[in-house]
């Protein structure tokens, strides 16, 4: 047995779970766990079904990763061994924002309620209004270089200075609440599309990349677009999750005395501070994965998202495949999007989308012929509904349990299948 495959785990108390599952364990028993959280000291919180445990191991794991474990020795701590088939391989985990793990429904609801109370309480309003945060406008220089002005606005923003303005704190609270809201399946298509786009593009993982691209884009411009450059940069800051978390971290950590005594009686400030720290830590971990994958030979940079849906037991699984800059630019960018839905009556459905210029291809992968017949019957209506937005729309249906199963582990070095215009 290789020592690196061993987990030293200590069960933690959970009033919502029966502890009998832990008490009945014996050496040789097999468990399936999922990593819920990574601590700064390297420990991992693992959900093992009937109980949860904090585990120390030398095996690199990621949030959301499933582990196949065998009980080696009972005691304190419990000794668990990871099955060989679950050992990390050369294909490292892709950056993943799993909101169902990061923020379970009860935690999400409590956080939203906390934000609502903070925004509504007079003591908080007075504290925000009376606190000398400074003026965002006074920090912006009036230099003639548009990129310098935009960069100065970012470098002197609360993300660095630690002095968020009243409006920025309020905006951060509202934006965090918006990003925590589950998708509403009954909403109009345009509203749902905007929710997906916001949740994916403003998840924090791409924050610095978006800033760098905006500054680079304006730096290459031959026109003086100072106002546009400044507005675009600050629009990114105002929407992105990481920026809002940094603002809230600065505010909550600044010791605003008028707020804490009145609100902390219910633990609101402590809960929000812990939530912000937890989310920031996860964003940093996902960004580290981005850096690790940047040097790989895969043609795509892959980002995975698991998004909760209102009143639905199963979330939406979404993968976005961005082409790496090392690809032949003459071939054009070739994005892909893949979705995995768990339907109540139809079972699992995988949807792959690809677009080249204005030509869209949609492929449905289904579990059986009856479900395929249902989707094939609707394919014409789907194509007709999208016809006004594309030069051509091609809808395919396939029976392929294998393709559905491969959603999490498929080979990322396969031949590109087309380009997705995320702004379409």
pLDDT tens-digit map of 160-179:
445 667 778 888 898 888 88
The answer as to whether 420 is a domain residue is no
pLDDT value, residue 124:
53
Query: Quick one: what percent of the chain has pLDDT higher than 90?
Result: 8
Q: Which of 39, 65, 88 is the last residue of a domain?
A: 88
Residue 307: which domain range?
A: 298-405
The answer as to whether 76 is a domain residue is yes
Whether 273 and 401 map to the same domain: the answer is no
The answer as to whether 129 is a domain residue is yes
Whether 126 and 31 map to the same domain: the answer is no
CA distances to 185, 299, 335 from 413, rounded to whole Å, are: 33, 6, 13
Higher pLDDT among residues 320 and 13, named by residue: 320
**Angular region, 236: left φ>0, alpha ψ -120 to 50, beta rest:** alpha
Min mean pLDDT across 56-60, 102-106, 362-366 is at: 56-60
Handedness of CA 248, 194, 379, 311 (dihedral sign): positive
Q: Is the pLDDT of residue 413 over 60?
A: no
SS (H, E, C) 154-198: HHCCHHHHCCCCHHHHHHHHHHHHHHHCCECCCCCHHHHHHHHHH
CB 169 within 8 A of CB 128: yes
Whether 133 and 276 map to the same domain: the answer is yes
Q: Is the pLDDT of residue 398 over 90?
A: yes
Whether 287 and 334 map to the same domain: the answer is no
The answer as to whether 413 is a domain residue is no
* Over residues 85-100, mean pLDDT: 60
Whether 259 and 339 map to the same domain: the answer is no
Whether 81 and 112 map to the same domain: the answer is no
Q: State the pLDDT confidence band at 5, using cuts at 50, 70 and 90.
A: low
Min mean pLDDT across 55-59, 281-285, 371-375 is at: 55-59
Which contacts (CB < 8 Å, 24+ apart) does range 72-75 have? 72/1, 72/6, 72/27, 73/27, 74/25, 74/26, 74/27
Whether 282 and 302 map to the same domain: the answer is no
The answer as to whether 416 is a domain residue is no
pLDDT value, residue 164:
65
Whether 206 and 343 map to the same domain: the answer is no
pLDDT value, residue 250:
86
* Over residues 393-400, mean pLDDT: 92
Min mean pLDDT across 59-73, 273-287, 317-331, 373-387 is at: 317-331
Report which secondary-structure segment, H or E, holds 281. Answer: helix 268-294
CA dist 227 and 239 (Å) reads 18
pLDDT value, residue 387:
85
Residue of 293, 322, 328, 299 whose CA lies nearest to 420: 322
The answer as to whether 360 is a domain residue is yes
Residue of 123, 132, 102 whose CA lies nearest to 269: 123
pLDDT value, residue 132:
42
* Over residues 253-276, mean pLDDT: 65
The answer as to whether 93 is a domain residue is no
Residue range 202-252, pLDDT digits in tens: 888 888 888 888 877 776 665 555 667 778 888 888 889 899 999 888 888
Whether 236 and 363 map to the same domain: the answer is no
At 351, give phi and psi (nearest 5°): -130, 120
pLDDT value, residue 127:
52
Whether 182 and 240 map to the same domain: the answer is yes
Q: Is the pLDDT of residue 382 over 80?
A: yes
CA dist 176 and 181 (Å) reads 9
Give the CATH number of the domain where residue 26 resides: 2.40.50.140
Higher pLDDT among residues 338 and 149, named by residue: 338
Min mean pLDDT across 9-23, 63-77, 227-241 is at: 9-23
* Over residues 174-196, mean pLDDT: 82
The answer as to whether 418 is a domain residue is no
Residue of 395, 385, 324 whose CA lies nearest to 359: 395
Computed over every residue of the chain, the mean pLDDT equals 73
What pTM value is reported for the model? 0.64
Classify residue 80 by burial, with Cβ atoms within 10 Å: 0-12, 13-18, 19+.
buried
pLDDT value, residue 327:
55
pLDDT value, residue 373:
93
CB 247 within 8 A of CB 164: yes
Residue range 321-364, pLDDT digits in tens: 877 765 554 454 456 889 998 887 888 899 998 877 778 889 99
Number of domains composing the chain: 3
Question: In angstroms, what is the C-alpha Rg of the chain?
Answer: 24
Whether 84 and 110 map to the same domain: the answer is no
Strands 359-366 and 96-98: unpaired
pLDDT value, residue 18:
55
pLDDT value, residue 376:
94
pLDDT value, residue 422:
34
> In a 3-state reduction of DSSP, which class is residue 131?
coil
DSSP 50: S
DSSP 309: B
Higher pLDDT among residues 196 and 266, named by residue: 196
pLDDT value, residue 160:
43
Higher pLDDT among residues 64 and 210, named by residue: 210
Give the CATH number of the domain where residue 372 resides: 3.30.750
Whether 122 and 37 map to the same domain: the answer is no
Q: Which of 291, 318, 344 is the last residue of a domain?
A: 291
Q: Is the pLDDT of residue 92 over 70?
A: no
pLDDT value, residue 351:
93
Q: State the pLDDT confidence band at 296, using cuts at 50, 70 and 90.
A: low
* Over residues 106-131, mean pLDDT: 72
Q: Which of 238, 256, 291 is the last residue of a domain?
A: 291
């Amino acid at each position: 047995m290789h020592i690196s495959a061993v987990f030293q785990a200590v069960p933690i108390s959970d009033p919502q779970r029966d502890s009998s599952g832990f008490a009945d364990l014996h050496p040789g028993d097999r468990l399936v766990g999922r990593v819920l959280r990574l601590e700064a000291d390297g420990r991992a919180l693992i959900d093992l079904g009937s109980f949860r445990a904090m585990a120390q191991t030398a095996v690199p794991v990621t949030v959301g990763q499933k582990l196949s474990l065998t009980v080696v020795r009972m005691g304190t701590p419990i000794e668990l061994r990871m099955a060989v088939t679950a050992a990390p391989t050369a294909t490292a985990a892709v950056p993943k924002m799993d909101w169902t793990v990061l923020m379970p429904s009860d935690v999400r609801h409590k956080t939203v309620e906390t934000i609502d109370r903070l925004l509504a309480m007079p003591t908080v309003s007075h504290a925000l209004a009376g606190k000398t945060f400074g003026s965002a406008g006074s920090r912006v220089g009036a230099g003639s270089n548009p990129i310098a002005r935009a960069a100065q606005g970012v470098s002197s923003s609360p993300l660095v200075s630690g002095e968020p303005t009243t409006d920025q704190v309020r905006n951060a609270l509202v934006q965090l609440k918006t990003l925590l809201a589950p998708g509403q399946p009954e909403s109009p298509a345009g509203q749902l599309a905007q929710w997906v786009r916001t949740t994916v593009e403003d998840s924090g993982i791409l924050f610095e990349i978006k800033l760098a691209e905006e500054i680079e884009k304006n730096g290459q411009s031959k026109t003086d677009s100072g106002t546009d450059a400044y507005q675009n940069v600050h629009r990114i800051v105002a929407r992105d999750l990481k920026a809002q978390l940094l603002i809230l971290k600065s505010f909550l950590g600044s010791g605003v005395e008028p707020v804490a005594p009145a609100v902390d009686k219910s633990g609101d400030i402590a809960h929000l501070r812990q939530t912000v720290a937890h989310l920031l830590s996860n964003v940093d971990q996902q960004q580290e994965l981005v850096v690790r994958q940047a040097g790989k030979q895969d043609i795509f940079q892959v980002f995975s998202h698991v998004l909760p849906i209102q009143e639905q037991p199963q979330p939406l699984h979404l993968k976005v495949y961005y082409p790496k800059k090392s690809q032949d630019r003459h071939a054009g960018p070739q994005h892909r999007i893949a979705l995995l839905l768990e339907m109540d009556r139809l079972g699992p459905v995988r949807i792959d989308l690809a677009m080249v210029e204005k030509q869209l291809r949609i492929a449905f992968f289904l579990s059986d012929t009856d479900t395929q017949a249902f989707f094939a019957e609707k394919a014409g209506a789907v194509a007709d509904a999208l016809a006004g937005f594309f030069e051509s729309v091609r809808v395919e249906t396939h029976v392929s349990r294998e393709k559905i199963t491969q959603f999490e582990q498929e080979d990322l070095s396969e031949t590109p299948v087309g380009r997705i215009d995320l702004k379409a």
